[in-house]
A and B are shown apart, each in its own frame.
Chain A
Amino acid sequence: MSVLDILAYPSEQLKKLSETVEQVDERLLAFIRDLEETRLSGPGAVGIAAPQVNVHQRVVIVDVSNMKKPCENHGHMIMINPEITEWDGMAMGREGCLSVPDFTGNVIRAERIVLNYMDETGEKHEITSSGFEARAIQHELDHLDGLLFLDRLVSRRTDLFQRKIYK
């Protein structure tokens, strides 16, 4: 296993479209192990996408189960060819990225998503994810389409007022 180099913007490689994985073989599994080791070597990243290490295959890893502030989650997920099929609601949140060091910004994401993916054993999943985990998934899936959170920035001066609950 090895820690791979993480590309940082303005690398053009981050803006490229990733290709569908046709076959899960030993080579891909070895890559996924390296990708995970790379994720864990950084400063507490909850996700990583293959193109961030210059591999343009539709593979991401997301795990928000170890957050300081616990949130709803599906544990550690290795997602191959993930696809979001439903979006619902919107929420503003602050995001940072291993490929954009020393900058964070506000991004609006769907509050709840439904997505399909295949895991590393070839098993297919359909899950509904919401909140922080859904944000992490959307952030990672963007990488597969050559998008960074910089492409979705909204002004720090824009605020979605918290919905007030009247009793």
Chain B
Amino acid sequence: MNWSVLTLVGADQQGIVAAVSKLLFEADCQLAEASMMRLGGNFAIMLRVGHDASADLKTVLAPVVDGMKLHLHLDEDVPASPRHIEPDVHITVYGADRTGIVAQVTSLLASAGLNIIDLETAVGGSAEQPIYIMSIEGHAQQGIEALRNAIKNLADDIEISLTEIDTLRA
């Protein structure tokens, strides 16, 4: 089996996931990890798909790409996923919305050894006073203390909290 990662983005409309997954199922594809969400007025799908070497995913998905006007990006022959890296830290960030929050926070964290595994952000609050919220899970490659020290240098207008993830193994 070959593994590919496909990205599909288009104006949000009802039935995208059903249409995409039905076509893949009918072509004997196997779905693995996926992340799908609404981004503004768009809907975005990122999906790892297992398929026969002879399967041409672009042809398989043509009906939905054309019919629903989606953009398709295909990364072929992505090696099967290794055992997933376990996150050991969760970081929550929020503040009055302004430019540079993500860049400043992630730069500090990266320099202190954070490997980001999952990150999502949202804009909330009112139109006049928007707030920016970010949630990160990652692996602290230089330990949690290094991250704690790094965030001390963060601008005062950003609230950041760092929680160790103690995974229960039972």
Q: Which residues of chain A have a CB within 8 Å of any CB of chain B? A: 42-48, 67, 69, 93-98, 102, 104, 132, 135-136, 139-140, 156-157, 159, 161-162, 164
What are 13 sample pairs from A and B whose C-beta atoms fall under 8 A apart? A46-B169, A94-B168, A95-B170, A96-B170, A97-B170, A102-B83, A104-B86, A132-B168, A139-B170, A159-B92, A161-B92, A162-B92, A162-B161
Is B170 a contact of A140 with CB atoms below 8 Å?
yes
**Who on chain A is nearest to B137 by CB?**
A156
Q: What is the CA–CA distance of A93 and B161 in the complex, to the nearest angstrom?
A: 16
Q: How many residues of B contact A (CB 8 A)?
A: 19
Give which listed residue, B118, B161, B165, B168, contacts A46 with CB less than 8 A: B168
Interface status of B120 (Cβ within 8 A of chain A): yes
Beyond A102-B83, A104-B86, A159-B92, whether A96 also contacts B137 by CB under 8 A is no
B168 partner residues in chain A, CB cutoff 8 A: 46, 93-96, 132, 135-136, 139
> Contacts A159-B92, A161-B92, A162-B161 given: A96-B135 contact, CB under 8 Å?
no
Give complex CA distance A44, B161 in Å.
28
B152 interface hit (Cβ, 8 Å): no
For the complex formed, measure the closest distance between the CB of A67 and the CB atoms of chain B, giving whole angstroms: 8
Bound complex: CA A16 to CA B128 (Å): 55
A69 is contacted by which of B92, B164, B169 (Cβ under 8 Å)?
Answer: B164
Distance in angstroms between the alpha carbons of A67 and B86 in the assembled complex: 17
* Cross-chain contact of B169 among A45, A159, A162 (Cβ < 8 A): A45
Pairwise interchain contact A69-B167, C-beta atoms closer than 8 A: no
Given A48-B170, A136-B168: 17 more A-B contacts, CB < 8 Å: A44-B169, A45-B169, A69-B166, A93-B166, A95-B167, A95-B168, A96-B168, A97-B170, A104-B167, A132-B166, A139-B170, A156-B118, A156-B137, A159-B90, A159-B92, A161-B92, A162-B163
